[in-house]
Structure 1
């Protein structure tokens, strides 16, 4: 990827600063060395997500992660807690995996507005500023994970990856998958957290929509942050050569009848199908366990093909990774494609960044995109649909059936084919 600026060094967005000042509010960029301000910012967004009030040790623990991000707070000097922001957002520039490589993405997180300051245009000021900042920095796409699915569409974001929660009644199945040549062994939780980070970084280019993690994310999966959870355990899979290829963090509920416990997979990351299967087998065949539950897993998990009855594993799906294209030519020319295309694409974007008509010519798996102002469009959609379909996890044919894409049958079919990918996009973490 080309050299990009540190998001923390960018100037404060003047349009949002002025708009919020008219409402008697201060739009402020925090500095990474101001620990007290970062702690107040963290306390505010935790409150926004309905978390208990954080203890000082917890805030210190969070500070290292937050100091690496661009932190914005909105302040009301009239409040009793004037040092706490009444709205928060954080962002940073990170690579995201796309077909054929990766792309710099403006990652947006910790978006909150205090319950006392709703419906004052604060969220709009925050999010529109984030998109202006991304555009000014030359970052062609923005992303987030959404706690509420109704907020972000109005800013052009759309769900581009899904996550599944898998459940298996282990009493009704036996293992039908391969015999792994390696072995499973227990591992200390601190060592498991380090291995999670290593394996995530080693494998993230294998899953479309994936982004790098950070140390506190892995410690959290192991129950080593905030309220420590000593019930979490970890195992790793070593291949036949003794190399670690996978790690699993799990927890067994403490309130159960004999041989009927629930085992929850908190996180599983593996380098290769062999390790994935071996760790699933460990969970399914665990003593005294009647049900295995695994949230935030791929929708195309091979699990039904690893057990004797493919009807027993069930999954429920939800949106997870949301994307918002900022620069159409840049994002379309960055990814690889599965088929040829020659068409004019009309993209509507109320905020203007992606708006326009573009001639898209795809040959030998790569696209050339040029402006086609005034040309008749073969395919028409908004930036939301293009953002949803970009990674290949959402079909243009399905969007057309929903009335969200218009154009000729041949052009839509050709672009749909070109966007297809072998495995479903998958983002394994929340940010």
Structure 2
């Protein structure tokens, strides 16, 4: 764990949060990463919150071995029959978020649960507000999360900023018309794939707005290389190697055989990481050329996949788009100055924040080289266009995934010149996040 990560991980609890929960007869504390007696009940509470069954010992041990990077909070009701099991959970860690043309430190949030026995007591609001204040205090200017329920987090200033596409492809209809990649595709072991994927993902994520560093333990989950992996023997791994011998891509999949019609078997593609256009083409052509496969399913794809233009029959693909990576700006100047812009301009943002963390009036001035200066101002300059929006709307446009013109038409922001603002925040690459956390 780096010093920056540890700085956030070990931060003291927000006093306003602890006092508010104590007033309701609840105690909030950090879970000790070195004690199974604390992490095991916390994990069971998380499983309960996500409607899962109880974790077995192998799962608890695997989490204990791989989850120490997370700052884990539990809210405890000491009058409950099981006082050691938290009635609410919250986890976070410091992670680098890719934004257009750059990166910014972020607070990644996960494992947010409140027991149904303790709903409507303001627990989540106090937890979220307190931990967001802590993240900002520890130098993390933006927060990110993926959600199981989309309607929860808007009230805290989060907004969907990178959508995910799920593809279902009729392989027999699709017919490959993309390029013939010059490298080769080979089967490798799950361990070999696990050995090359981290470097590949680093190459990809730094140019893909919306991606974050892969959280600890997730690679072993993808490749079935952790001791609690279920049906890992069903996973297959292939890699793409360039003519120069460089491994530029890797993919993980499983096949479900159709015993009534073997030519209608199904491939579920759980991961495809391609660091070059050739690797992308080579791996996708491999999957769309497999014998006995009728359907290919893939999720957490970009909304602007080149694959759309690599198949002859685009109607062979059924694509479903849904919200995925949520973003919440905490420090407007630091966050906006971390990304790059394609036009030189000046705008004023009047930002409203329901938690009063990022509220203010900001002058954003971009230069021809793409850099931005962002200043908190009392009196906006005359003649500079003004945008009035909430922190959720600002967070939504941060990665370039939605146009301010669209938000203006939806009544989510007001602007003197929405098209001018849209040109400022536009970016050439659609944002994406290739996994859940």
Structure 1 length-normalised TM: 0.96
Distance 1:177 1:425 in 2: 23
Residue 194 of structure 1 aligns to a residue whose secondary structure is helix
Question: CA 1:163/1:28 → structure 2, altered by over 3 Å: closer, same or farther?
Answer: same
Corresponding residue of 1:23: 24
Matches within 5 A, 1:320-339: 320-339=324-343
- Work out whether residues 258 and 264 of structure 2, in 8 Å CA contact, stay in contact via their aligned partners in 1: no
Q: Does 1:385 find its partner at 2:393?
A: yes
- Work out whether residues 95 and 103 of structure 1, in 8 Å CA contact, stay in contact via their aligned partners in 2: yes
Residue 217 of structure 2 aligns to a residue whose secondary structure is helix
Distance 1:296 1:81 in 2: 38
Shift of 1:262: 1.1
Residue-by-residue CA offset, 1:233-275 (whole Å, 9 max, x unaligned): 1111111122211111011113442100111101111111111
Distance 2:4 2:71 in 1: 17
- Between the two proteins, the alignment pairs up a number of residues equal to 429
Shift of 1:179: 0.9
Residue 134 of structure 1 aligns to a residue whose secondary structure is helix
Q: Which runs of 5+ in 1 are unaligned?
A: none
Q: Does 1:319 find its partner at 2:320?
A: no
Shift of 1:122: 1.0
Question: CA 1:238/1:104 → structure 2, altered by over 3 Å: closer, same or farther?
Answer: same
- Work out whether residues 38 and 66 of structure 1, in 8 Å CA contact, stay in contact via their aligned partners in 2: no
Corresponding residue of 1:133: 134
Shift of 1:117: 1.3
- Work out whether residues 250 and 267 of structure 1, in 8 Å CA contact, stay in contact via their aligned partners in 2: yes
Q: Does 1:236 find its partner at 2:239?
A: yes
Structure 1, 380-389 or 171-180: larger mean CA deviation:
171-180
Corresponding residue of 1:153: 154
Distance 1:194 1:64 in 2: 19
Q: Does 1:111 find its partner at 2:112?
A: yes
Residue 311 of structure 1 aligns to a residue whose secondary structure is helix
Residue-by-residue CA offset, 1:299-320 (whole Å, 9 max, x unaligned): 1111121112222223110111
Distance 1:255 1:175 in 2: 23
Distance 1:228 1:374 in 2: 62
Distance 1:133 1:200 in 2: 29
Corresponding residue of 1:421: 427
Question: CA 1:22/1:263 → structure 2, altered by over 3 Å: closer, same or farther?
Answer: same
Matches within 5 A, 1:291-302: 291-302=295-306
- Work out whether residues 5 and 93 of structure 2, in 8 Å CA contact, stay in contact via their aligned partners in 1: no
Residue 397 of structure 1 aligns to a residue whose secondary structure is helix
Query: Which one of 358, 362, 366 corresponds to residue 362 of structure 2?
Result: 358
Distance 1:372 1:219 in 2: 48
Q: Cα RMSD between the aligned structures? A: 1.7
- Work out whether residues 256 and 267 of structure 2, in 8 Å CA contact, stay in contact via their aligned partners in 1: yes
Residue-by-residue CA offset, 1:346-388 (whole Å, 9 max, x unaligned): 1111211211111111112111122222437611111010000
Distance 2:147 2:334 in 1: 25
Matches within 5 A, 1:13-412: 13-214=14-215, 216-224=217-225, 225-256=228-259, 257-364=261-368, 365-375=370-380, 378-409=386-417, 412=418
Structure 1, 193-202 or 222-231: larger mean CA deviation:
222-231
Question: CA 1:27/1:46 → structure 2, altered by over 3 Å: closer, same or farther?
Answer: same
Question: CA 1:54/1:226 → structure 2, altered by over 3 Å: closer, same or farther?
Answer: farther
Distance 1:405 1:396 in 2: 8
- Work out whether residues 357 and 371 of structure 1, in 8 Å CA contact, stay in contact via their aligned partners in 2: yes
Q: Which runs of 5+ in 2 are unaligned?
A: none
Structure 2 length-normalised TM: 0.94
Distance 2:200 2:415 in 1: 43
Residue 196 of structure 1 aligns to a residue whose secondary structure is helix
Structure 1, 216-225 or 16-25: larger mean CA deviation:
216-225
